[in-house]
Every structure is written in structure tokens, then in C-alpha cells.
Structure 1
Amino acid sequence: MSAVTASKTFRPDIEGLRALAVSGVIAFHFGYTGLPGGFVGVDIFFVISGYLITQHLQQEIAKHGTVNLWTFYARRARRLLPASLFVILVTLVAGYFILAPSEQQLYSKGALFASTYIINLWLIRWSLDYFAVDATNNPFIHFWSLSVEEQFYLAWPALLLLFTRIRPGKHGVFLLMAAVAAVSFALCAWLTAVSQPWAFYFSPLRAWEFALGGLASMALLNNWAKRFPYSPAMGWIGLALIAIAYLRVSEQGPFPGFVALVPAIGTVMVLLSGVHQSTYGPRALLAIKPAQWIGKLSYSLYLWHWPVIVYAAMLVPDLTSVQRILLMLLTLALSIFSYRFVENPIRRNAWLMVSTRRSLAFAALLTMTGVTVGYASATLAKRNLSPQQEMILETAERPSTVRATDKSCVLDLETVKPKPCVFGSASSNTKVVLFGDSHADHWSTPLVDIAKKDNIRLVTYLKSSCRATRITTRDSKLRRDYTECNDWRELAIKEIIAMKPHTVIISQLSISHLTDEIGDPSEYSARKKEWADGIRSTVEVLSNAGIKVVFLRDVPTHTSYLDKCVARALWQGRDPSVCDTPRSAAADDGDAETEKGIISGIKNARYIDMTEFFCSNTICHAMIDGKLTFRDRHHIATPYAESLAAPLERAIFKQTIAGSVKSEPVSEKNL
């Protein structure tokens, strides 16, 4: 993140705060689980920037009565643009050898938007959750915070001048700034629950953090310390709040919202306390040489750390602790290089510093270079899309038959009222229901083909991320308990029973994925019992209504996104088998045995296991017969799903429609 020299009086504790902030961010992104809230280091940077920029602007207004905006923008451009463009260019070049052409095409757009400091707006439009797993593939996503800062630098000086004109005097400006902070925070807190990407990425909704820093700087500049002593104890309390945020805040919870107040207020308290050069306050701790050194490198460290870990994880999916330490050293080496040979030389270049126009023209040149190279990279990547690469891309993007027919047949997160969709023969007396989440939906493609062939009326009850099992889960996007799922499930079960179908086919995300939703491993045993009871409850209520139930075992989960992994492997000249996953890591055979035991004890219920069509005894395959098995980590690719119609028909319908209730796994030998 950026460093700002806003005062003639150097504050070493601020440099130490930068070191603390960037260390938290790097630890989080490098997978150090001891600091689950390390990402709040970005919020610390926002508060620091607000503090220093406001202090600088207030001093200039006090001295000259105004702010020379062009000179201000020129200084910011010299400080930020050279290093960021250098990292963007190196990242694009490295990406040419590592990323598949389809990824190069997408992420080159990220480079273009990062060069113009509007990537945060692109990410909102892309509706990409910062904490979603697929976000880890984007080597430019971390530029969102730099975009927010640049947008702040663009708007804040003019806003501060406006405040000065509207309400002259220190109290008037302070109150207007406080009002901005209050409105921004209120909207941010509200949208965190309503639309988290907007709350996270949109700069006006992060303005309250910059404004808090600005309010702290005004308090010090106006010498209000006489009324309120900024004691060393305040600094220690502030550091404690930051530590609490690092240790207790989690990506699983709603963020930024109210939670972001903890590190932001903690930073303000450290900034206020640091004005006193007391040996008893945290200022001395933050001023130690290692912290000063890291603080000076913080901007370069922030720029480099993310593409380094992203590309490394692509090349070596299971990084060891030693490898991660080596990657940190590589990040440090790159940061030192860019700091010494790019960042500082251009920032302090006498020829640029002597003229605001030169600096602004140079900034425009750098920006256009980033845009041009990003566009050229995307164009080149499109030309490199071979037929095989296009096939993988098409496979990954091709929806199931149900989604292709009517997207609304798979309900979104908020919708509660069930929407049954009919496929196959609408007039058939043989009614079959497909019930579950997206893991039921990916079986809809072969089931619709079977229904058309065998004169079956297939009715789907599908809802995103909502298991048929009666269990309350936590949704990662809603960042809360998924109560809409509970309501939908009960309404759907009621409708299904009233429909009196011949068979209900249940498919859903398995228990193994609950570990991602729990957070605390000690709760796993209790949740596993809830899961078992929930399966039994759902299946029994259908069975007791005289309905046959087929429970499809969940599909394997791969360690990598197969579409991206296979495309990269082919681009790099490697065999797609490098994307295979050991069965022990993918198939959850133990949980499947538990499920099978539950289902086998319920009348009219049968357990079907199709795992043999994805895995051998030891390996779960990325490609079979030239087809991609999964479009991501655990959703069957539609073309491969089509090829499973015949074995799925034999496994389910030849026995179920005939009245068999045998409970046995399906294997190649059985078929």
C-alpha cells in the first residue's frame, strides 16, 4: 500500500503500523491460519492514508488558503504508478507462461482496469466475492484496495476544500467530515448484509475509514489534546484491538460492516497516542528497525505478494510450509528490487519533480502503457485459443439442461417459494422428482434425456446451495445461517408429498463440505450427527408417504478447478492427468458408508453410488474418454453428464420403476 509523507515531523510509529498492516495481509494470503483476520490490514492502511493525506491538506490550506490539486495529483502519481505498472507488466509476462489462454484473456482485463485504478468497479460488476475460492486465481484482485485509495486521493482534496468553504473553521470542517464518516459507515454496514461486494469494493462505502483517519489528524492539528489526553495506554488499547481483529475476525463472517470498526478504531487510537514520544507507549515498539524497514517496503510488498502466491499455488497446488517461506523471501527480494530501482528513483526524479506538467504527462503515459499492454495481452490470448482450449472453455460454461431451459428453475439464495419445473413427458403417469441443490442439478442433464426416452414426467425442485437434508447450514455468500433454505425445503417436501410421485431422487453436497462452513473443528462431530439425523428425517418423511426414494451419493471433490487446471496443463505441454486427485482426498468414502447405512435402514429407500464413473480405486480422474469430468471442482461437466445417461438409467430406473429396493453401490461390474 502507499506511503505518504504528510508532515515535516516523521512519525516512525506510522511506518511501524504500515509494517503491521502489510504483515497481516501477507500472512493471511499465504495461508497462515494463526491470523484469520490478517486481511484487515487493508483497513489499517485506509485509516493511515486518511490521517496523513488530511493532515497534509489541512496544513496546506492553513498556509495558502487552498490546495494545489494538480501538484497533489502529480506527487501521488510519481509515488504510486511506476511500481504498480512494473508489477502489472511482470505479472502479465509471467501469466503468459502459467495461465491458460482463456485465463490470460480474462485477467488481462484485470490488468487493464488495475492500470486505470478502477478494478474495484470491475469486480463489483463481475460480482466476485473477495473470499470465494475462485478469487484465488486472479493475480490482480489485490489492486482493488489501491483503486479505492486512488479514488480517495482524487476526491478527498476537493471535498476538503468544499468543507472549508461551506463551514470555515476547524470545528465546521470536523463536523462535516464526521457526517461523511457516519453516512458512509451506515451505508457500508447496511450493504454488508444486503450486497457484500458493494460494501467491500465500492470506495464511497469505504470512505468512513479514510474519514476516521482524517478526524484523528484534525484532532491533533487543532491541539485538542489539551481537552483529551492521548495517553500511552490508548495506544496499547489500539494495538490490542488490532490484535483482536487479526486473531478473531474471519472471512466466514460479514465484512466490512460493524466488524471493520475494530481495526479502524484501533488504528485511530494508535495514531492519536503516537503523538507523544513516551517510552511507555507502543510508539517505541513500532519504531524498531525491522518494523521501519518493512514499513518502507510495504507498498512494494503489497504489490508483489499476491501474484507470487497465486502463481505458485497454480504450479504447486499443495505448497508446504517451507515452500511458503521461500515464496515470502521471493516476495521480499522482488519488493527490494522494485523499491530501489523503480519506486524510489522515479519518485525522487529531479526532472519530474521540477514540473507538475511533466509528472502528470508521465502519469498519463504510464496509465496508457498499462491499458495498451493489457488490451494487447487479451487480444493475443484470444488468438492462442486452440480448438481443444475452446472445447474446455465451452464445457466449463455450458449449463445443465435445466438451467439452459430456464435459469429460474434453480432458485437463487433468497427465494423461498418452490418452483417445480417439468421435463420429459408432461402427460405421463410415471412421475419422478429430482430434489436438492446444484449437485442435483448437474444430474438433471442425463435425467432429462432418460425422461424423454422412457416417457417419464420429471419434476425438479432445485435451489442453490440448499441440501435436501433437514439441517441448517451457513451460506458463504450470505455470511449467515441459510434460513431461506430451511423454509424452501419444508415447502418443497410438502408439495412433493401432495404430488405423490413414484420416486424422489435426492442429490446434494455431502457432509464433507460442512467443514468449510463450521470454522471450529471441535463442532464437527455434533454437526455430523445433525447431518445424519437430517438425512434420516428427510428420507423417512417421503418414505412414510409411500414414495420411493433414491439417494445418489455425492460426487468427488477435486483439489483444483479442473477446467482451469486442464487448460493450463495443455498450454504448458503437460498431460491433463496432473489434475487428477487421489481418491482418498476426493471421494469421502467413509462418509458415504455412513450415508449408505442410514438409507439402507429406511423402507422404500435405495442408495446409488456412481463414483466408479469418476474414480478408480486410487484416483479420481480429470478427464475420461477425452471429456472433462467436472466443470469446476465438484460440478459434473454437462457433456460428461450426458454420457452417463445409460448407466444412470440402469442404476435407477430399471430397478426403481420395477419396484426393487435393493441398496447396493453401482460399479462397472454391476453394469
Structure 2
Amino acid sequence: MSAVTTSNSFRPDIEGLRALAVSGVVAFHFGLTQLPGGFVGVDIFFVISGYLITRHLQQEIARHGTVNLWTFYARRARRLLPASLFVILVTLVAGYFILAPSEQQLYSKGALFASTYIINLWLIRWSLDYFAVDASNNPFIHFWSLSVEEQFYLAWPALLLLFARMRPGKHGVLLLMIGVAVISFALCAWLTTVSQPWAFYFSPLRAWEFALGGLASMAVLNNWSRRFSYSPAMGWLGLVMIIAAYLSVSEESAFPGFIALIPAAGTVMVLLSGVHESLLGPRRILALAPMQLTGKLSYSLYLWHWPVIVYGTMLIPDLTLIHRVLLLVLTFALSLFSYHFVENPIRQNKWLVAGTRRSLVFAGLLTVTGVTVAYASATLAKHNLTPQQQAILETAERPSAVRAKDKSCVLDLETVKPKPCVFGAQSSSETVVLFGDSHADHWSTPLVDIAEKDNLRLVTYLKSSCRATRITTRDSKLRREYTECNDWRELALKEILAMKPRTVIISQLAISNLPNEIGDPSEFAARKQQWAQGLKSTVETLGNAGINVVFIRDVPTHTSYLDKCVARALWQKRDPSVCDTPRAAAADDNDARIEEGIISGIKNARYVDMTNFFCSDTRCHAMIDGKLTFRDRHHIATPYAESLAAPLERAIFKQSIAGGVKVQPISDKNPEKRAAFQLQ
């Protein structure tokens, strides 16, 4: 026999589910690659919230025929806002010492939107911007799910109360929830393939997960177990579905969409199975002491873990396992502190509990405080934006010569029809073509200077994330095979062949990045062979037509975003050389030798290696001659690209660079120039 819990009973299995949810999220963000889908823990939280809130509201409607909305909002405010504001304030203060002023200014906006529970809307706009700064540096990005929950808490009670007052019949609320679930899920699944940021961040498109929890709650309240058996097997199956999602879903998946059904449905099954206190179900495992402690701290753990790992990675870019364990310990310590000294004391404060108006006024004060401090932080950051910091910011933001003329000259992901853009001497009989992706575009700045000086006609064929090599890759933003690239490449090659230019210059993202663009790592060896064949095919097509082909080796890829890293280093009074990357990690010389062997064996083709303008024998440098080398991890900063016009001209048009190139450190005791390097 198994006992059935009453609707008001404490459910230790729900606390265990919270532990499972937050553990997945923390493991994912702390870099546990064995759980690539740990982020779906957020979906578990959404279903649990829908279950608990619907249960509470339905019970109140059953007892009193209505819901006291203000009392409900007051309880939610006491539960969520104090800990949230505390984390926001501490994160802002810590950011003053860790982040560069330009980052402080930007992320203070995140703090402001987090304080007003609309950061998810800000992130939609940010995610849709192709040139948006790296989201992994934003210490407030995880507040998006809290904003979605707050928006749910605001709308759901009012909607249920409206239906209760309309008295639509016995199954009115049930039909409401089914309708919300079906419509929300259908739109979510559709937009996942059309505009994934909307499907991911927009609360109405996540409402189906809350509605699923609500339906599970109604099943328990209406004792549907008389008709359906909530067996232990259902709970185990649900748990398996959650674990399967953790193990199989990844950032490359079309998420949320249909895939989110797996953890959401699994959570519903565990919730329903837990109604029975069965010795055979997963309830006993979820009720274990470690799970209960973690579940109790789940809200605080979720709040703290992200800023801890973000700031930890900024201070120690190459985190070891020991570093990550220490950061996890720090996360638990901060969570325990805020739970016992902020979250619980304020939630249970007798003076606040005694008056709904007091709690609401207090919530308003917390919100105003968050907004005020965030605004003050942004203002202070603007004041601290010194000329040196401003110069780094302007360097990173300065577009290439092509983008400065017309951003559309570098095609977006979905455009197929080539757009040739002409620079230099428009009527010259000497035509040179630049062909490739954004890694060709960053060479456009010195090439435009060369074209103008030498009376050349420079024509560009450029497309974002699209190599000149004939190979099909997956695009991380489209989350599918990048077929538009294949179509554009063939059309561009056809136009280039018809143009019969003197020279075609090719540059593109290195093959060493290919593992990030294929679904199964075991396919890499075969894909590498396809890459070699595709590279040979493209270059031979041009070379056999009598066109000179110059293939520029790809630039190094740094471990950190150099604009931010250098700005932080200067703000922290550290040497910018801390942002250098070991050459072995930044530039794959073995793949380059293979690439050079392919090119050198093709008629009319040459291979140009400019790596020594970025790296010494051991390190690739963040600054050279006092200039920032890259605006991010692997796109050349435009001012530094300008300085390479003369050696690039010699390399491409004069066959070789006489005497070779060496990058040597300057022996200078001035901290600001210690990381500067000379070209000799």
C-alpha cells in the first residue's frame, strides 16, 4: 500500500527535483561536459513553479471563491526580491574591481533590467544582434529565467481569478490551461526554427511549461488518480527522461522547441508519481538529505553560481579542476549566507508578514534601490572611462574598411545572392578579388589601402561564417546545416570566373575550428578529409582558369576576448601581456602545414603565412607596437590591420617577405609598454 499525500503536505520529492534542476544548471555552467544539456534544469523549475502556484491558487479559490492578488504578490516579493537584490548589489560591487569601465557600463544595464524583471526582453534584442558582445561575460544573464517567472507570477493568478469569476463551468480552468499550453507550445516550436531567441527568452512562449505544471496540479487536486494510476514506474520514467535530456541535449540543439518536451514531461511524471509515498518510486532518492539541502538552497545557488563562474573565469582564464571546485565551494558558501541572513529572515519577518501593504511597499523600495544602484554604477563607469580605456573601446568597435563603407557588403547568414563591392581604382584594368568569410573581411582594411596606392580595382565577395572551401558546415546561430553558404559560394565562384581577375585572395576561419561545427566529434577525421578535398577543389577551380590565387593562413585564435581582457588588465593595474595566448593553443601549426602542402601543389596558387606578425615562437600577443591586435578572439583590430599594409603588399604582390619576420618584446620598464612588441 502507498499513502497519498494531501495537497498541503510538504513534498520532499519536489525539493529533490529542485536540487536536480539547479545541479544540472550549475554543472553545465561550470563546464561539466558530460552534462551538455544541464541548462534544461531551468525548464524543470518552470514546471515546478506552474505546479506549486496553480495548486496554491486553486486551493484559495476553492476555499474563498477568489484570490487576494495583493497578498499573493506580497508573498512572492518577500520570497524572491531580497536575495535577488542582494546578489545584484554584490555583483555590481565586485564588478567594479574586476570589469573594465566599458563592461561596467554595459552590464549595469543588465542589473537595471534584472531589478525590474524584464532582462529577458533586453536579451532578445541582444541575441538578435549579430555583432553583440559575448554573452558569456554578462554576470546578469541568468536573471532571464527569474524575469520569466516573475512575469508568470504577475499574469497567472489574475488569469485564473478571471476564469473563476466568469464561472465557465466545471472544466473551464482545465480548458484554459490546455489552451495556453497548446498555443504557447505551438508558437514556441515554430519560433525555435525561425527566431530562436524569441522562443527561448519570451515568457508567453514558455507559458506552456508552467501550464503543464498547472495541469499536473489540477490532476492531483481533482484526484484523477481514481482513473489514472500514478505508479512508481511513471516516476522512474520521468527521471530517466530528465537525465536523458541532461546527457543528450546541447547548445547546438534546436531548443526549446520539441526537445524541451522531454524534461518538461519528465518533471510532470515525477510530480504525479510523488503523490504516492511509495517505497518503489524515485521519491525516496529525491528525499535524501543532500538533495533536500541542495533543494532548499536552490534559489540562492542559482542566483550566485553564474556571477561566481563568470568573475572566476575572468580572473583565471584557464580554470583547472581545483579552481572549479573552489568556485563551487564559494558558491555554496555565498548561498548559505544569503539563505540564512537575507532570504529567510526577510521572508519570515513578522512585521512584513503582518501587513500586505508593508510587503508591497518594501518590494517597491527594493526595486527602486536596484534601479538606482545600477544607474549609479553606469554613471560611475562612464566617469572612469579614461582616454586609454576609450581608445580600446573605439579600436574594438571600429569596423573594417568594407563594413565602414557598407555593412551589407559582408552578407548575413541567410542571404544567398552575392554582392560584389568595389574599392580602389574603379576603372583599373588590374582587378583583385577578396573572397571568404569575416576572416577575409578583416584583411580588407590593408587591402583597400594597397588598392588605392597601387591603382588596383579591389572587388570583395564576403559572407558571414562562410568559408571559400567547398565544405558543408553547421551554423551555430541557424542550428542546422549552412546550405546558404554552399549556394552563395558557387554563385560567387561563377561570377569571379566570369570576371577573370588578376588575383583572388582567399582567407577564412581555420580548419582547427571545424570540431565546433559538426554534430558528432567522431566524424572529425572524415570531415577533415572533406575539408582537404574542398579546399583543393575551390583553389583548383580558380587556378586552372589562369587566375592567380593567394591563400592567407588564418590568424591565431585567443582564449579570451582581447579588447575586454586588455581593458580589464589596465583597469586592474596589470600588464596586458596577461592576455597573451601560448602559440601552441592559438595557432595550429600542424594543420597549417597540411594546408600549405595542399595549396603549394596547385597551379597558380601560393600560400602566405602572416602568423609571425601576431606571434613570437612561443606566444601570440594581445598588443604589438602599443596596438591591440584583435578586437575579439580572432578578428584583427582595424588599426592593427592598417599597420600591416606594407608587409601584406610584399607578401601578396612581391612573392616573399625579405629577411623573414620576427616579433620581439621591447625591453621597457614602463608597465604600459611592457607588452608591446616590434616588427623587425
Whichever residue aligns with residue 266 of structure 2, its letter is G
Deviation sequence 1:53-110 (CA, Å, 0-9, x none): 0111111111111111100000000000000000000000100000000000000110
Match of 1:248 in 2: 248
In structure 2, distance between residues paired with 1:8 and 1:18: 18
The corresponding residue for 1:384 is 384
**1:8, distance to aligned residue in structure 2 (A):** 2.4
1:352 counterpart letter in structure 2: L
Distance 2:436 2:127 in 1: 25
> Using the alignment, how far apart are the partners of 2:376 and 2:657 within structure 1?
58
**Structure 1: how far apart are the matches of 2:327 and 2:133?**
20
Secondary structure of 1:551's partner? strand
> Conserved in 1, the CA contact under 8 Å of 2:66 and 2:164?
no
SS at match of 1:542: helix
Q: How does 1:158-173 map to 2 (within 5 A)?
A: 158-166=158-166, 168-173=168-173
Please name the residue that 2:111 is paired with.
111
Give the secondary-structure state (helix, strand or coil) at the position aligned to 2:634. coil
> What's the counterpart of residue 423 of structure 1?
423
Q: For each residue in 1:163-210, what CA deviation from the matched residue of structure 2 results, as whole angstroms up to 9, or x when unmatched? A: 334453342211121111111011111111111111111000000000
Question: Per-residue displacement from partner, 1:370-415 (whole Å, max 9, x unpaired)?
Answer: 0000000000000001111000000011100100100000000010
For the residues of structure 2 that align with 1:166 and 1:652, how far apart are their CA atoms?
77
Counterpart contact for 2:239–2:266, Cα < 8 Å: yes
3-state SS of paired residue (2:465): coil
CA distance in 1, matches of 2:7, 2:228: 22
1:587 aligns with 2:581: no
Alignment partners' CA distance in 2, 1:216 and 1:635 = 50
What amino acid does structure 1 have at the position aligned with 2:652? I
Matched, 1:667 2:667: no
Query: Does the residue aligned with 1:24 lie in a helix, a strand or coil?
Result: helix
1:226-237 equivalence runs, <5 A: 226-237=226-237
Q: Which residue of 2 aligns with 1:395?
A: 395
> Do residues 534 (structure 1) and 528 (structure 2) align?
no
The residue that corresponds to 2:675 in the other structure is none
Matches within 5 A, 1:569-648: 569-648=569-648
Distance 2:133 2:248 in 1: 21
1:329 matched to which residue of 2? 329
Matched, 1:340 2:329: no
Looking at structure 1, the residues matched to 366 and 224 of structure 2 have their Cα atoms a distance apart, in angstroms, of 42
**Is the Cα–Cα contact under 8 Å of residues 88 and 111 in structure 1 kept in the other structure?**
yes
For residues 369 and 133 of structure 2, the distance between their equivalents in structure 1, rounded to whole angstroms, comes to 31
Is the contact made by 2:616 and 2:662 (CA closer than 8 Å) also made in structure 1?
no
- C-alpha displacement at 1:653, in angstroms? 1.7
Partner of 1:484: 484
Structure 1: how far apart are the matches of 2:619 and 2:345? Answer: 53
Question: 8 Å contact 2:7–2:220 — kept in the other structure?
Answer: no
- Alpha carbons of structure 1 residues 554 and 666: separation in structure 2 relative to 1, 3 Å: farther
Superposed counterparts of 1:450-465, under 5 Å: 450-465=450-465
- Verify the 8 A CA contact 1:608 1:664 in the aligned structure 2: no
Instruction: Tell whether 2:153 aligns with 1:183.
Output: no
Deviations 1:585-632 (A, max 9, x none): 101111110000000000000000011110111110100011000000
| Cα offsets for 1:10-56 (capped at 9, x unmatched) | 11100000000000000000001111100000000000000000111
Whether the 8 Å contact between 2:445 and 2:638 is mirrored in structure 1 is yes
Q: Which amino acid aligns with 1:74?
A: A
Following the alignment from structure 1 to structure 2, what is the Cα–Cα distance between the partners of residues 492 and 324?
A: 47
Considering only aligned residues, what root-mean-square deviation do their CA atoms show, in Å? 1.7
In the TM superposition, residue 648 of structure 1 has moved relative to its aligned partner by 0.5
Following TM superposition, by how much is the alpha carbon of 1:289 offset from its aligned partner in structure 2, in angstroms?
Answer: 1.1
8 Å CA contact 1:82–1:346 kept in 2: the answer is yes
Unaligned runs of 5+ in 2: 1-5, 664-678
- Does the Cα contact within 8 Å between 2:651 and 2:657 map onto a contact in 1? no
Per the alignment, residue 650 of structure 1 pairs with 650
Instruction: Report sequence identity in percent.
Output: 82
Query: How far did residue 665 of structure 1 move?
Result: 11
Contact kept, 8 Å, 1:607 with 1:663, in 2: the verdict is: no
Deviation at 1:557, TM superposition (A): 0.4
- What does residue range 299-378 of structure 1 map to in structure 2 within 5 Å? 299-378=299-378
Paired residue for 2:154?
Answer: 154
1:523 maps to a residue whose letter is E
Any conservation in 2 of the 1:196–1:255 contact (CA below 8 Å)? Answer: yes
- CA distances 1:263-317 after superposition (whole Å, capped 9, x unpaired): 0000000011110110001111111111111101000000000000000000000
Change (3 A) 1:476 1:129: farther
Question: Does structure 1 conserve the Cα–Cα contact (< 8 Å) formed by 2:424 and 2:448?
Answer: yes
2 CA distance for matches of 1:126 and 1:32? 26
Distance 1:453 1:385, change over 3 A: same
Tell me the CA shift for residue 9 of structure 1: 1.1
Q: Per-residue displacement from partner, 1:448-505 (whole Å, max 9, x unpaired)?
A: 0100111100000000000000000110111111010001001000010011111100
Q: How many equivalent pairs are there?
A: 659
Partner of 2:290: 290
8 Å Cα contact 1:12/1:287 also seen in 2: yes
Residue 432 of structure 2 contacts residue 458 of structure 2 at CA under 8 Å; is this kept in 1?
A: yes
- Please give the alpha-carbon distance, in whole angstroms, between the structure 2 residues aligned to 1:340 and 1:442: 53
Question: CA deviation digits over 1:408-459, x for unaligned, max 9?
Answer: 0000001000000000011000011000000000000000010011110000
Code of the aligned partner of 2:559:
T
Give SS of 2:134's match.
Answer: helix
How far is the alpha carbon of 1:527 from its aligned partner? 1.1
Q: What is the one-letter code of the residue matched to 1:579? A: C
2:25–2:40 CA contact under 8 A, matched in 1: yes
Decide whether the 8 Å contact of 2:436 with 2:466 is kept in 1: yes
Structure 1: state its 5+ residue gaps: 1-5, 656-661
Preserved contact between residue 170 and residue 222 of structure 1 (Cα < 8 Å): no
Counterpart Cα distance in 2 of 1:389 and 1:11 = 53
Residue 121 of structure 2 aligns with which residue?
121
Map of 1:502 onto structure 2? 502
Matches within 5 A, 1:66-85: 66-85=66-85
Superposed displacement of residue 129, structure 1: 8.7
Amino acid at match of 1:8: N
Change (3 A) 1:615 1:423: same
Q: Indicate the residue corresponding to 1:659 in structure 2.
A: none
TM-score w.r.t. the length of structure 2 is 0.95
- Distance, in Å, in 2 between the alignment partners of 1:531 and 1:55 is 56
Greater mean alpha carbon deviation, residues 17-26 or residues 165-174: 165-174
Say if 1:530 and 1:590 are closer, same or farther in 2 by CA, change over 3 A.
same
Contact 1:22 1:302 survives alignment (8 Å): yes
Partner of 1:14: 14
TM-score, length of structure 1 as denominator length = 0.96
Aligned residue identity for 1:57: L
Task: Name the residue aligned to 2:515.
Answer: 515
Runs of 4 or more, structure 1, over 3 Å off, are 662-671
C-alpha separation between the residues in 2 aligned to 1:578 and 1:322? 21
Could you tell me how far 1:161 is from its partner in structure 2? Answer: 1.8
1:64 corresponds to which residue?
64
CA distance in 2, matches of 1:318, 1:343: 33
- Aligned partners of 2:440, 2:11: CA distance in 1, in Å? 59
Partners in 1 of 2:179 and 2:199 — Cα distance? 18
Q: Which residue is 2:221 aligned to?
A: 221
